[in-house]
């Protein structure tokens, strides 16, 4: 757990109580990650109303793996006919047309903003600085195998 996590959790509880919400930990304290993961992924779990967790995106931009009806990482268990329809439109055979798919993404994003099924509280980027002397390194999703065997050093010393 990061060093500021406990302070952040206490602050969030304090702020929610100021709003009049009787917020408390499900087990009386923050859950260990594996227990949390198991509990939140149960399709019929009824003990957790609000949770704070993190995930990262894959190279496939489709949100189906996070928001689909049967997606294991749909940890908020948000399901609706409209959401399923929009996700299906994003992944159907017409989606090979980039303009069509972009419109489906925008329609889905507008719908999710209206529904407010999830509320992010932070955002971060992953930085991978690489010296310009390194050749063969890529962060492109299509170049997913970034093994060290692909790397070359073009100069022994820096200038």
Residue 19: inside a domain: yes
Say what the pLDDT of residue 83 is. Answer: 96
92-117 pLDDT tens trace: 999 999 999 999 999 999 999 999 88
Residue 66: inside a domain: no
The answer to whether 104 and 85 have CB atoms below 8 angstroms apart is no
User: Model pTM greater than 0.75?
Assistant: no
Q: Does an H or E element contain 128, and which?
A: none
Residue 49: inside a domain: yes
The answer to whether 135 and 152 have CB atoms below 8 angstroms apart is yes
Residue 84: inside a domain: no
Contacts of 140 (CB under 8 A, 6+ apart): none
- pLDDT of 15 higher than 80: yes
Residue with tokens 């996700």: 87
Residue 62: inside a domain: no
Structural domain including 3 reads 1-53
Residue 35: inside a domain: yes
- Residue 134: beta bridge partners? 153
Say what the pLDDT of residue 109 is. Answer: 94
DSSP conformational letter for 101: H
Mean pLDDT of the chain: 84
59-97 pLDDT tens trace: 678 889 889 998 888 888 889 999 999 999 999 999 999
**What total number of domains does the chain contain?**
1
Residue 10: inside a domain: yes
Three-state SS at 10: helix
Residue 59: inside a domain: no
């Amino acid at each position: 757990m990061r060093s500021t996590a406990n302070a952040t959790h206490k602050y969030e509880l304090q702020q929610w109580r100021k709003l009049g919400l009787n917020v408390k930990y499900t087990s009386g304290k923050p859950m260990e990650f594996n227990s949390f993961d198991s509990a939140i992924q149960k399709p019929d779990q009824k003990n957790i109303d609000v949770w704070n967790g993190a995930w990262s995106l894959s190279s496939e931009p489709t949100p189906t793996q996070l928001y689909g009806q049967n997606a294991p990482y749909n940890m908020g268990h948000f399901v609706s006919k409209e959401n399923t329809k929009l996700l299906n439109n994003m992944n159907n055979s017409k989606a090979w047309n980039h303009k069509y798919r972009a419109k489906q993404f925008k329609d889905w994003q507008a719908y999710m903003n209206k529904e407010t099924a999830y509320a992010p509280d932070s955002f971060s980027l992953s930085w991978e600085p690489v010296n310009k002397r390194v050749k063969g390194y890529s962060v492109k999703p299509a170049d997913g195998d970034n093994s060290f065997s692909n790397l070359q050093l073009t100069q022994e010393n820096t200038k």
